[in-house]
Amino acid sequence: MSLFTTIKTALGLIPPLAPKHPEPFQLSANARKRIDQFAPGRALHVATVPAAGGYTVRAWEGSDGMLEEGVAPVVISEEDHERLAGTTLDWDGERWTTRARLAIQATETPNPNGRKYETDRYLALGRPQGFSKGDETAPPLAQRILGIEGIQNVLVYAHTLTVERETEASWAATDREVEAQLREYFLLCGQALPDPGTAEPGTDLEGDVLRVLQEHALPYIRSHGGNLELVDIREGVVRLHLEGACGSCPASQITLKVGVERALLEALPGRVVRVEAV
């Protein structure tokens, strides 16, 4: 992910990536050529082996007396075939290797210390999920990103992740490391974070506030790498937790007051008196 690509993306010269579910496990042209050279009765065996944070791929050539004539000599279980979705097996002339099929684009956010990365693969299902450095409950994907030097927080949503950095951290170095960590995650058969579900609103007012946020605020905020979580409502005061690029954005209070609070006051007059960030 070059600086030139990042700049073109920020200027809108490169269209946003469309998320999709990973394509089935594939063989490269070199892999197929190698397999075509097998002697009769020989097959390529492919399996996954548990490793720290995921699975590694083991591929070896061996005999298989169960092969039928005309059947491609590749032996892999249905479970491993599904687990390896989104990866390609290649032959480099000496050994079998795998690579993850993944496109990544870096995008600026209104927060100078926030950056959003779009991918063409889903990273999380359901509502946005935020994690901070030192969070022992963070899943492997979040732990990888939080392990990058200078990264303090990460927000994962659909096919994007947004990071907040320390002021002195380099975006060029961060871009390279984020891409490397995402590729390694999927090479280890990493999956999109499961849907954590959404808690049911405790009151009618909470339900109405969540509806207004979803309709008038969250689409815009999430498009810029941020998110709002409803903490509670006390005597008409709506308390929200800002995540992602919103967390330390200089313009977050303007967004909160001019955008979010105004929308709630107009939609729910007399029931909401103001909005606070916590």
DSSP string, 138-151: --HHHHHHHTSTTE
199 domain residue, yes or no: no
Q: Are residues 272 and 220 in the same domain?
A: yes
The CA distances from residue 99 to 20, 28, 64, 116, in Å, are 18, 10, 26, 24
**Which of 158, 187, 216 is the endpoint of a domain?**
187
Which structural domain, as residue segments, surrounds residue 261? 204-277
**pTM for this prediction:** 0.84
Q: From the CB of residue 113, how many other CB atoms can be counted at a distance below 10 Å?
A: 20
Q: Are residues 14 and 150 in the same domain?
A: yes
Q: Where residue 264 sits, what CATH number does that domain have?
A: 3.30.300.130
Q: What is the pLDDT along the chain (278 residues), one digit of tens a residue?
A: 544 455 555 555 567 788 888 899 999 999 999 998 988 888 999 999 998 779 999 999 988 655 555 455 889 999 999 999 999 999 999 999 999 999 999 999 999 999 999 999 999 999 999 999 999 999 999 999 999 999 999 999 999 999 999 887 889 999 999 999 999 999 999 999 999 988 788 899 999 999 999 999 999 999 999 999 999 999 999 999 999 998 888 888 888 988 899 999 999 999 999 999 98
Q: What H or E segment, with its residue span, contains residue 20? A: none
Q: Are residues 169 and 45 in the same domain?
A: no
Cβ-contact 157, 219 below 8 angstroms: no
Cβ-contact 228, 213 below 8 angstroms: yes
Residue 97: predicted pLDDT: 96
54 domain residue, yes or no: yes
192 domain residue, yes or no: no
**123 Cβ contact list (under 8 Å, min separation 6):** 141, 156, 157, 158, 159, 160, 161, 192, 193
Residue 86: predicted pLDDT: 94
